[in-house]
A and B are shown apart, each in its own frame.
Chain A
């Protein structure tokens, strides 16, 4: 299976080969624009997608992922598998073989030492490495010989393709970063902004949060690539301005993250200068239900904790009714257009990992009402709001300040009001909501509300760590300073047990089965999470830019070496 994947990746790369008829640097300049400007070119010191994408044109991992989420070799001869012996039988180590004669853009050879150093760099306790999870469970990285890198894990690892895989985990040049270990990491401004890499381009100029200028790397392993002699990434402005610069004025060739309203998308498309491409990854806009009671009357420290189950939402019938009342197609139409699809899953892709759960797509208001009736929530006093035992069916529904989210809030409030639920809306500054400050009552982890809405995704196609969030132990509590990813305080021993088996299951199909089951357990089986929209990243590219293959699993610039000018 792995081998097939690798071969497919290789074929995919070859498939774009026609572009390679061009010689290196014959197509002039390619201009990219990002609505958020690039802050730093070292992904280990930044979690920002903009920085990771920009740096991916320069820094490369050993292996990347193609648009289907399939591993492809980058700096190595092949993807190590159990079959080819690259992964040890006991799954405790993985061995990568570097391509022969691989050179950094400064002409020096790439060796296994660089990989070892990269691991040390990111795992240094004082370094504050933002990609530390990539190296979690790694016991050691050794240079067996200058061409061979052996990664040893603490124990058997079901998914060994974390370290040195994807744009989040590229190889740094030891020579350049040697003095930048640990606390010194942020002070190496030059190295962080102009890292030496193996990618198709090298940095020639960097102005913070503004412009990165790049030129073709003359030491790039494919002598015919890249087709462009230079590249520039201009940042700043907003999504609409970026999209306009590609779609309407034609000043730029590629704009990443042009999330604009559907009607604007249509009018820009009409200008005929370019097109939108959507990368559908695993990002899902969802409603999270609170299984615990956020009642402000509860003493601080007990509010929104497992001590007090939610008085209304603990009933699955209520949660289901809330989901049934929503028309997800309208949400997509209003908020995302081509950039979104209705979904009922928290794992909406890649194919093979996504459950076929689509029971929530059709709105069913009557069914929802019937469910609430059945649950005993009836409008006994005729004020339009259902009640039970003298308690009103009233919910506080919070999200961040964001125009699309406020549209969603309004629409969903309408549907729920029709259902007989009184809804109070709240919108919180995203910096506060996602800021994680334990002192603030408004963080999404503290969840001092009944329902909250945001988007989350799995960073890798294999959703193991993402699904781990819903384990009982990950619930944010006062004891954990309100940190933890199990926002719903969902606690199901069956889920935890099944999740535990995933870590030891190595067969891909079996893993996918488990993932689907786990997905269903938090969605259709329990309605703890109410997924709404599978969101893609909308990007735009000019009609004169060839070779673009949108990729949700790795950097969108994953194949920038193959981009060329359509003549």
Chain B
């Protein structure tokens, strides 16, 4: 397993380098200019100066290699500086956002907490809702519960979060006045009152995303359960005279969870990616909102860095999913 992991990690390096170049070229070739959001009242020569100050007029390969150097050397070095008070990255240019002129990694650091809390909780809630629904739906296939579950999943799939989120806002914020519509990223949870506040402000985005997540995962769970339910070993277990609980929860569920767990693991990079629409709608201002904002502003360093981090996470979690599969399913061995 260890050699497998190491080999896969080594293999990932050239893959990621190619990905980074492709992303860079794609982002660079995308139409639009970093000046598109600047009002028309700023005259062309000033715009040109601004572009030069950003370094956006340099040839694409110069900028790409600069970015590579910044990403793989300057940023880690400045991280180490931050930890140990060294001066490795002194005088080096960190990756700066064109839009805000702040270091991209500072922005990511500011945004990751709310993305992870909100989107991560939503994912967790989604899983917690989906797994029991999936299990019971499969166990009682075609019962009214299963039909209701199918309907729920269909709604979760087909209703865009933009719509469900707005609906929640109208019901819970405008009519009932229970929850705030704008997420306060500055809230520090240090006592019961602030904790309640945090729960309240998370409620609606978590519900919105949780529904969407639960829809997908409950379907996976159900079909995986159904696949296993008909297997002979389940009959064997019944024939052994095991209780129904044991049969379903031990034999069927454990085997059914293998593919579901990998699907869940593969979905985790998406948590880091945030949820663009939901984040925007509720003012969560996490990574998703940063990405879309950067795309709108043609903020190449930000888009490039985020996209590349996602690529890294996707590669990483693919590996983790494979390893998990190996750990969970004794039939799979990588050595």
Contacts and interface: CB of A to CB of B under 8 A. Distances in A.
Interface stretch (B175-183, B245-253, B260-268, B323-331): B175-183
B190 interface: no
A252 interface: yes
Contacts of A437: 31-33
Nearest to A483: B44
Interface string B13-40: 0000000000000000001110111111
B102 A236 contact: no
Contact of B181 (A128, A244, A483): A244
Interface in A166-214: 183, 185-187, 189, 192-193, 205, 207-211, 213
Contacts of B280: 236-238
B254 interface: no
B311 interface: no
Given A127-B53, A130-B46, A208 B32 contact: no
B285 A209 contact: yes
Interface in A232-285: 232, 234-238, 241, 244-245, 248-249, 251-252, 271
Given A236-B280, A459-B41, A33 B182 contact: yes
A554 to B, nearest CB: 14
Contacts of A185: 53, 101
Contact of A189 (B33, B46, B51, B102): B102
A434 B181 contact: no
B52 A128 contact: yes
Contacts of B298: 431, 435
Contact of A435 (B32, B52, B99): B32
Contact of A249 (B31, B35, B46, B180): B180
A525 interface: no
A484 interface: yes
B185 A210 contact: yes
Interface string A71-83: 0000000000000
Chain B interface residue number, banded: 35 or more
B100 A133 contact: no
Contacts, number: 185
A126 interface: yes
Contacts of B37: 47-48
Interface string A429-459: 1111111110010100000000000001111
Given A126-B53, A431-B296, A437-B31, A208 B102 contact: yes
A186 B96 contact: yes
Contacts of A125: 49
Contacts of B103: 189
A237 B283 contact: yes
A539 interface: no
B100 A435 contact: no
A298 to B, nearest CB: 23
Nearest to A457: B41
B40 A434 contact: yes
Contacts of A440: 31
A37 B285 contact: yes
A554 B99 CA distance: 23
A518 to B, nearest CB: 17
B116 interface: no
B106 interface: yes
Interface in B40-94: 40-54, 93
Contacts of A133: 41-43, 46
A49 interface: yes
B182 A237 contact: yes
B290 interface: yes
Contacts of A37: 285, 289, 293
Given A33-B182, A208-B107, A236-B280, A189 B47 contact: no
B289 A241 contact: no
B312 interface: no
A220 B33 CA distance: 40
A209 B296 contact: no
Contacts of B290: 209
Contact of A132 (B49, B52, B169): B49
B3 interface: no
A40 interface: yes
Interface string B138-178: 00000000000000000000000000000001000110010
Contacts of B289: 37, 209, 236
A242 B33 CA distance: 27
A80 to B, nearest CB: 24
Contact of A209 (B35, B40, B107, B184): B107
A436 B185 CA distance: 36
A3 interface: no
Interface in A18-68: 33, 37, 39-40, 42, 45-49
A47 B42 contact: yes
A106 B298 CA distance: 36
Contacts of B52: 126, 128
A186 B36 contact: no
A431 B296 CA distance: 7
Interface string A100-117: 000000000000000000
A42 B53 CA distance: 15
A309 B190 CA distance: 70
B243 interface: no
A129 interface: yes
A485 interface: yes
B186 A193 contact: no
Given A210-B285, A485-B43, A40 B100 contact: yes
B229 interface: no
Q: Which of B41, B45, B173 is most buried by chain A, counting CB atoms within 10 A of its CB? A: B41
B97 interface: yes
Contacts of A236: 279-280, 283-285, 289, 293
A91 to B, nearest CB: 23
B110 interface: yes
Contacts of B169: 241, 244
B119 interface: no
Interface string B108-126: 0011000000000000000
Nearest to B51: A128
B281 interface: yes
Contact of A245 (B41, B46, B181): B181
5 contacts: A39-B100, A45-B101, A126-B52, A207-B110, A245-B182
Given A127-B49, A186-B101, A209-B285, 18 more contacts: A33-B283, A37-B285, A39-B97, A40-B100, A47-B39, A48-B37, A132-B46, A207-B186, A210-B110, A234-B182, A235-B283, A237-B182, A248-B174, A429-B32, A430-B36, A432-B31, A434-B40, A435-B36
Return the 10 tightest CB-CB contacts between A and B, nearest first: A128-B53, A431-B32, A47-B38, A435-B33, A39-B100, A483-B44, A459-B41, A186-B101, A210-B285, A128-B50
Interface of B: 31-33, 35-54, 93, 96-97, 99-103, 106-107, 110-111, 169, 173-174, 177, 180-182, 184-186, 279-285, 289-290, 293, 296, 298
